């Protein structure tokens, strides 16, 4: 039996209050959906509970950080203990070293790492570092890849930028993005031609090795390898933005999974253990260019603060201790979910593609296999909105956009997955019926 949720009067009232003083009532645009988002009271494990008392199985998982689920008890304990010694010092601490040591040991391309406060900052500094290192200005990015909300990369950027009209935001001077070359994902030919022609001017190629900000889009066989080869030949730095995939596809992220080593990697989300964070790392030679030992400026008042580091460290320790087991469980859960969704889509005779890898998945409401941003954009977003609403009514919370990723955590149970597959099946039938 699929139970319908109760009402959302309290959220509606709260939203009407919020939008008076907060643009759109939300502090990040993707959190809004029509007619109003639910407001959260609390969350634990795989469940999130709204202020009307409705409980949802959560696949949004705060857009990626919560690989161990909401409210991991060890993180809560560790943070409580740390906070009683102070929340921020403006001086270095030992836990920052241990944190850096776990990261350098886990991620193949990182000898040295610097912590920031968000993924946006991490990619901004990674790009500056690459420009400083190569003394070149241009960068290449791919359609549908999101690298945070800063000027150089907010061009066909996927994520919230895809749902909310023009990806090119107002307020970005054309001069700022004239050094950003935009290419289609998974098109080796277009990439090699661009490198052939412009390679000497290009400082860096930045990409999400697995796109998680246009739904999930996997790299085709050979795509990452071709990029690695062409960039190496021209002295271009390769930046993998692993803010989502880092410590999600395995301890070494996508670079380990696909066995392709970038020059610089950006991390975020999971490594903060549910607190704000970002990081970028690479070889000693490249990273040594950062101030104070080098001439590329980079800084942050809250960077490496003991709360984010403690929380992150507590999660990374659990992941490294549980190494094989946790990632195996996530992969199996992901496969069960994706197979279930494919069966349900077929059963409902709905035009749908299920993309995913390990604990990331998305269903695209389109006929076309989704291998790039253009394919993703062929999805029926009106249908997706109705799908989203039906799931909410039945106690399942997926991100409110076709161009986001659903996340599994180690807290999701078999029962969660089975219920979800059943509910999604009924939702797919409903949206095709009328």
Ligand X SMILES: *Cc1c(COP(=O)(O)O)cnc(C)c1O
Binding residues for ligand X (CB under 6 A): 118-120, 123, 146-148, 208, 212-213, 241, 243-244, 268, 278
Pairing mode, strands 47-50 and 55-58 = antiparallel
- Which one is catalytic: 50, 52, 241, 380? 241
Smallest distance, ligand X to C-beta of residue 233, A: 26
- Which one is catalytic: 15, 32, 59, 146? 146
Task: Write out the two tokens for 300.
Answer: 């942050």
142/327 with CB nearer ligand X: 142
Smallest distance, ligand X to C-beta of residue 147, A: 5
65/395 with CB nearer ligand X: 65
* The residue to which tokens 């549908």 are assigned: 144
- Kindly report the length of the chain: 434
Smallest distance, ligand X to C-beta of residue 381, A: 20
Smallest distance, ligand X to C-beta of residue 109, A: 16
For residues 399 and 405, the answer to whether their CB atoms sit within 8 Å is yes
Instruction: Establish whether 324 is a catalytic residue.
Output: no
For residues 362 and 371, the answer to whether their CB atoms sit within 8 Å is no
CA angle 114-116-118, nearest 5°?
A: 140
DSSP annotation string for 4-61: PP---HHHHHHHHHHHHHSGGG-SSGGG--SS-PPPEEEEEBTEEEETTS-EEEESSG
- Closest CA relative to residue 261, chosen from 115, 107, 101, 105: 107
Smallest distance, ligand X to C-beta of residue 156, A: 14
246/425 with CB nearer ligand X: 246
Instruction: Establish whether 241 is a catalytic residue.
Output: yes
31/336 with CB nearer ligand X: 31
Give CA–CA dist 113/97, Å, rounded.
Answer: 10
- Which one is catalytic: 47, 156, 269, 377? 269
Instruction: Establish whether 269 is a catalytic residue.
Output: yes
Task: Write out the two tokens for 416.
Answer: 């969660």
> Which residue of this chain has its Cβ atom nearest to ligand X in the complex?
119
147/412 with CB nearer ligand X: 147
What is the edge-to-edge ordering of all strands in the sheet holding 396-397?
Answer: 40-44, 47-50, 55-58, 396-397
Q: What residues act catalytically?
A: 146, 241, 269
């Amino acid at each position: 039996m699929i139970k319908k949720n109760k009402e959302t009067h309290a959220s509606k009232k709260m939203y009407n209050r919020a939008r008076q003083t907060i643009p759109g009532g939300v502090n990040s645009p993707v959190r809004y959906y029509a007619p109003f988002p639910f407001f959260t009271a609390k969350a634990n494990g795989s469940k999130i509970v709204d202020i009307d008392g409705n409980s949802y199985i959560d696949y949004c998982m705060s857009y990626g950080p919560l690989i161990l689920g909401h409210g991991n008890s060890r993180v809560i304990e560790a943070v409580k203990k740390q906070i009683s010694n102070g929340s921020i010092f403006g001086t270095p601490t030992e836990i920052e070293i241990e944190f850096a040591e776990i990261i350098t040991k886990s991620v193949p391309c990182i000898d040295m790492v610097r912590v920031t406060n968000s993924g946006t900052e991490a990619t901004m500094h990674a790009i500056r570092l690459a420009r400083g290192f190569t003394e070149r200005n241009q960068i290449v990015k791919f359609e549908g890849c999101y690298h945070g909300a800063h000027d150089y990369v907010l061009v066909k950027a996927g994520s919230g930028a895809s749902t909310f009209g023009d990806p090119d935001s107002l307020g970005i001077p054309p001069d700022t993005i004239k050094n950003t070359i935009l290419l289609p994902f998974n098109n080796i030919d277009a990439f090699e031609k661009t490198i052939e022609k412009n390679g000497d001017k290009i400082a860096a190629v930045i990409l999400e090795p697995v796109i998680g900000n246009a739904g999930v889009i996997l790299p085709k066989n050979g795509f990452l390898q071709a990029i690695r080869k062409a960039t190496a030949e021209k002295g271009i730095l390769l930046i993998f933005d692993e803010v989502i995939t880092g410590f999600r596809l395995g301890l070494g992220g996508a670079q380990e999974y696909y066995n392709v080593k970038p020059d610089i990697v950006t991390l975020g989300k999971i490594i903060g253990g549910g607190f704000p964070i970002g990081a970028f790392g690479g070889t000693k030679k490249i990273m040594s260019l950062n101030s104070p030992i080098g001439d590329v400026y980079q800084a942050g008042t809250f960077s490496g603060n003991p709360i984010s580091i403690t929380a992150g460290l507590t999660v990374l320790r659990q992941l490294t201790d549980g190494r094989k087991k946790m990632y195996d469980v996530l992969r199996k859960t992901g496969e069960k979910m994706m197979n279930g969704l494919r069966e349900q889509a077929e059963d409902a005779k709905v035009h749908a593609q299920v993309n995913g890898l390990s604990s990331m998945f998305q269903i695209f409401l389109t006929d076309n296999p989704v291998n790039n941003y253009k394919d993703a954009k062929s999805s029926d977003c009106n249908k997706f909105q109705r799908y989203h609403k039906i799931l909410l009514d039945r106690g399942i919370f997926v991100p409110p956009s076709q161009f986001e990723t659903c996340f599994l955590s180690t807290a999701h149970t078999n029962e969660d997955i089975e219920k979800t597959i059943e509910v999604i099946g009924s939702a797919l039938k409903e949206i095709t019926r009328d």
